[in-house]
Amino acid sequence: MLNKDNVNRAEECLNIVFVDKELIKVALTHRSFAAEASDKVDVNERLEFLGDAVLEFVVTDFLFNHYPELEEGDLAMLRANIVNSDVLAKLAGNIGFGECILMGRGAEIAGGRRQTSILGDCLEAILGAVYLDQGIKRTKEFILGIFQEEIAKQASKEKYLDLKTNLQEYTMKKLKVLPLYRITREEGPVHKRAFFAEVSVGGNVWGKGKGKSKKRAEQEAAKKALLKLQKLHG
């Protein structure tokens, strides 16, 4: 298991002293270590599940109270730009606990201490451990302490409102394809026209939208597509 020096170093990186040291040990234990261990070892996946839920709640609560001008869809999009694997890995790297993660030799040789998924999952596991050890108030302080700069950065850009550009950048990065838009129909008199659009990615329709103009309909379709794709691919 992790020795005392590893635990102390992790606590220094996090600026948190755990009451239950076993929680931080488990939070830092990747499944690759258990696969190579001779004895049964608890890994961080359950804590990751808990930490993911706590993180989403804290960020949602913050956005809801600090951005009253944003509608539900825009809040969801802003949150998706903040709570995702890339941001988690970046913040985990900033904190610097990667060297404290307990992982198997194969994973370490493969560069596991720098892998986005391992770093992000471990950070979520740590959030779950902090919540169990110190409660929601301290966990909220910890989360906002490391996420607030990213929240301000994303909100000030307001990039999440340029949904077609956002979707295009996302699909090119994750799937190497461009989204395709199609106006499916128009309804109503000329002075009160309603347009309906859909967006396809990789041959499948991922979002549909309605608006007073073709652009608004496409933006709505892009918003829905991006939310679905980010849930699926991170």
Is 220 considered catalytic here?
Answer: no
How far is the C-alpha of 5 from the C-alpha of 129, rounded, in Å? 19
| DSSP category for residue 162 | -
- One DSSP character per residue, 179-198 reads -EEEEEEEES-GGG-EEEEE
Distances (CA, A) of 40 to 22, 37, 103: 15, 7, 14
From 11, 45, 48, 52, active-site residue: 52
Q: How many CB atoms lie within 10 A of CB 223?
A: 24
Is 36 considered catalytic here?
Answer: no
3-class DSSP state of 202: coil
Q: How many helices (H) and strands (E) does the chain have?
A: 10, 3
How far is the C-alpha of 123 from the C-alpha of 137, rounded, in Å? 18
Residue 36: left (phi > 0), alpha (psi -120 to 50), or beta?
Answer: alpha
From 48, 121, 124, 220, active-site residue: 124
How far is the C-alpha of 128 from the C-alpha of 109, rounded, in Å? 27
Stretch (H or E) spanning 90: helix 85-95
What amino acid positions are annotated as catalytic residues?
A: 52, 124
